[in-house]
Amino acid sequence: MDLEEIISGRIILEFLGASTRFLGFNLWTLSNDNDFRTFSSFWSAGGSIKKRDGNSDRNHMIGGITLGSFVILLIIFNS
pLDDT band at 1 (very low <50, low <70, confident <90, very high): low
The three-class DSSP label of residue 50 is helix
Percent of the chain having pLDDT more than 70? 97
pLDDT of residue 21: 92
**d(Cα 17, Cα 59) in Å, to the nearest integer?**
4
pLDDT of residue 35: 84
- Average pLDDT of the chain, as a whole number: 88
